[in-house]
Amino acid sequence: MTADAAPIDQRIAGRYADLSPQERRAADVLMAHLDDLATYRAAELADLAGVSKATMSRLFRHLGYDDFSEVREHLRSLRGRGVPVTLDGAPSLVAHVEHEVANLHRAVAGIGEAGLDAAADLLAAARTVVVLGQRNSYPVALHLRQQLGQARGGVSVAPAPGQSVSDELIGLAPTDVAVVVAFRRRPTTTAGIMSLLAERGVPTVLLADPSARTLATGATVWLECPLTTASAFDSYAAAMSVVAVLADRVLDRLGRDGEERVTAIDASYRDLTEIESR
């Protein structure tokens, strides 16, 4: 593999002015099919561009690849980091479901009953709970906050609109709990957040994919959820399932207090006609 780690579109942009007219035609085709590039053969791409296979091969070399097989490997490495790249065509619905089920089984095997119980114990006993999630982790964090908020008070999601993460960490103590949702393509500040929480003695539940294993050493509880699929985009189905089970266990630990809170919230919904009463 070439030492140049830049994505193929950046390589084309950086070298475009130095390409021959024929190579530019070939490069234009690569850019037009960037999302499903790995589903083609080199000869097919040459036909689409109206150039010879030799021209296409020269283009690959000018871009820093030995051949098209190396381009495909480069695309696979991008997919492994969460970049939405189609590798082998869109999977069938059946294949997608099978992959989702496999992810659920891996999550269950990796977390185990002990991991879920440890996280639930922390979340039920904490004075306050802050669920931190940024970028693509935010929807999962928001859902966890909504579920936990049904069972207990003192739960917030961070960062709030217009706020930075630092604003949300002020005042957290060992009697609180932070849930850090940190799926891949996470901000570079995540490691610093984990270190800061550890320095302050704040118990931390880390909910993330396997790429966050280096961060897990600083977590009190590590909940690993795979999210890779056969399609271009990651799936958070396993993470959402873990959220549902975790919130259920917290509610169970809170007993009557949790049940009374759920009942009170439901009554408020009906009093304010906020949801359908069917």
Q: What is the pLDDT of residues 98-112, one digit of tens each?
A: 878 888 888 888 888
Same domain, 120 and 205: yes
- Residue 19 near residue 9, CB atoms below 8 Å: no
Q: Does any domain span residue 181?
A: yes
Specify the amino acid at residue 20.
Answer: S
Domain that holds residue 144: 93-271
Flag whether pLDDT at 148 surpasses 90.
yes
Query: 91 versus 42: which is more confidently predicted?
Result: 42
Q: Which residues pair with 181 in a beta bridge?
A: 133, 207
Q: What is the mean pLDDT of residues 55-79?
A: 81
Same domain, 76 and 109: no
Number of domains in the chain: 2
Report pLDDT for 119. 96
Same domain, 98 and 76: no
Task: Quickly state the pLDDT bin for 88 (edges 50, 70, 90).
Answer: low
Same domain, 123 and 176: yes
Q: What is the pTM of this model?
A: 0.67
Flag whether pLDDT at 177 surpasses 90.
yes
CATH number, domain of 45, equals: 1.10.10.10
Task: Quickly state the pLDDT bin for 188 (edges 50, 70, 90).
Answer: confident
Tell me the C-alpha to C-alpha distance, in Å, between residue 171 and each of 65, 148, 167, 176, 203: 51, 21, 9, 9, 14
Q: In the chain, what percentage of residues exceed pLDDT 70? A: 87
Flag whether pLDDT at 85 surpasses 60.
no
Specify the amino acid at residue 211.
Answer: S
Flag whether pLDDT at 242 surpasses 60.
yes
